Amino acid sequence: MTEAPPSARPPALPIPLQPALDLQRSLLLRSGCLALLLLALAIVWEGHAQRQAAIADLPDTAALVAQLLNEDLARRSDSFDRARLPIRLAALDGLARRLPLCLDVRDLHGRSIATRCDDWPEAGAAGRWLGRWLQSRQPQPPVLAEAALLLPGGIKAASVELRVHWTALGDAWWQRIRIWLVLGLGLGLIVLAVTRLAGRALRPAQAILAALNRLEAGDLDVRLPLPQLRELRDVAARFNRLAESWQRLLADQQQFSARLLHVREEERRRLARELHDEMGQSLSALRAEAAVLQARPDAAAGERIGQLSAQLLDGLQAVLDDLRPPALDRFGLLPALRALVAMPRRRSDGERLDCQLIAADGALQSLPPALAVHVYRVVQEALTNASRHGDARHARVNLTCPGEVLRILVEDDGQGLGGGAPVPGHGLLGMHERVRALGGRLSIGPAPGGGLRLSVELPLHGAPSP
């Protein structure tokens, strides 16, 4: 079972677009996650820093508390009365209004003789919960700061142990968290505004994707409006140029295919007419002359059979030359081109076209055999166009091989085309398609002295078989 040609295959269904190109949502999600992560790290770092600062301040605070209590003891006790120490923690009220205190006063035997842990009414439920959470995370044994209480004579009477006031610390941490949350909310609003602006600026990207989907489905008339964003404007402009080029390419392919079919049918019709007119008539005449010879011997009939046979062979040879030039296979490209150039060609007024070939043997020695028949056909079509359509008197064919390229230059002094593009009816569309199939380049323009200048460049390697 043979494979269907590309034109007969059903068009490929477009690949469905994934709804993943949502830059606004992606930017918002990633920026939000990053902001939340940074906010969480900042809050944790703030709590850790406040906890470390509170622990680091304990010794200084304990020394200050001891100093205040010592001053109060000096006013209300003598130097040797340890049994009745008038410990009045009210002396710390002024300090407690600024800094909440949690402390124990212990005598020389380690017994607690006074204790104080100020309430912190400013702390809400969140501050108290954070304080309990920080207290549950404190190292064991708990961190304490100790200072001595001295009598006026410098005798140690007791000691004061200061602890961290966890509720006040939790409330302070909560106040900082609220500040961080406000900053995070402001940052989130900024990110939201930026993402909305970015999404609005990149909204034409969805139109580009939709246009690509339509183009893939075969809609070659799709065009994109030019957006305001410079990058997307360049993309849209390049897309429009690509769609136009693709549309022109397909139109050219359809034109070439239609022309190729027409030329193929015309060639078949011409060959059928040649075979019918030349060989059919000659074979009919041969059959009639053979019938005469069968009836009675006749020398004139035999002579006519010889003439008809010669005409039949000449017609057959002309048809074979059109299908495949035998000189190309027998003698090579250069002799075949010389014979082609020397072949008589008549203009519309009956005068002969004078052709000249300029080519060196060395220029064609490295020519691949598969490329020779295409070179022959290009020169043949160019000369046919010069005599049949250009009505030229002189034509010159020049073949050179600069590097890895074969260059064919055909110039005549005829009427020209009046333009630089292949025109149906001048036999150049088939040449253009042949050159393009070989990976070459064809250019047509006016010759320096008037007429037509046809230039063909073919790569020497990678040519397909004829």
Instruction: For 312, list phi and psi in degrees, rounded to 5.
Output: -65, -40
Q: Identify any residues that bridge with 354 across adjacent strands, giving them in sequence order.
A: 394
Give ranges for CATH 3.30.565.10 in the chain: 329-459
Q: Are strands 405-412 and 452-459 parallel, antiparallel or unpaired?
A: antiparallel
Give ranges for CATH 3.30.450 in the chain: 23-201
Contact 456, 442 (CB under 8 A): yes
pLDDT at residue 327 greater than cutoff 80: no
Cβ-count burial 239-276 (b if 16+ within 10 Å, e if not): bbeebeeeeeeeeeeeebeebeeeeeeeeeeeeeebee
d(CA 73, CA 82): 11
Cβ-count burial 379-410 (b if 16+ within 10 Å, e if not): bbbbbebbbbbbbbbebbbebebeeeebbbbb
Higher-scoring residue by pLDDT: 310, 417: 310
pLDDT digit string (tens) for 209-232? Answer: 778 888 777 777 888 777 776 777
Please report the pLDDT score of residue 149 as a whole number: 82
Q: Which fold has domain 23-201?
A: Beta-Lactamase (3.30.450)
Higher-scoring residue by pLDDT: 314, 246: 246
CATH C-level class of 329-459: alpha beta
pLDDT digit string (tens) for 125-168? Answer: 888 888 888 888 777 777 788 888 887 777 787 888 888 888 88
pTM recorded for the entire structure: 0.45
pLDDT digit string (tens) for 250-302? Answer: 887 777 766 766 676 677 677 777 766 766 677 777 777 677 666 666 667 66
d(CA 199, CA 191): 12
> What are 317's two structure tokens?
């040879």
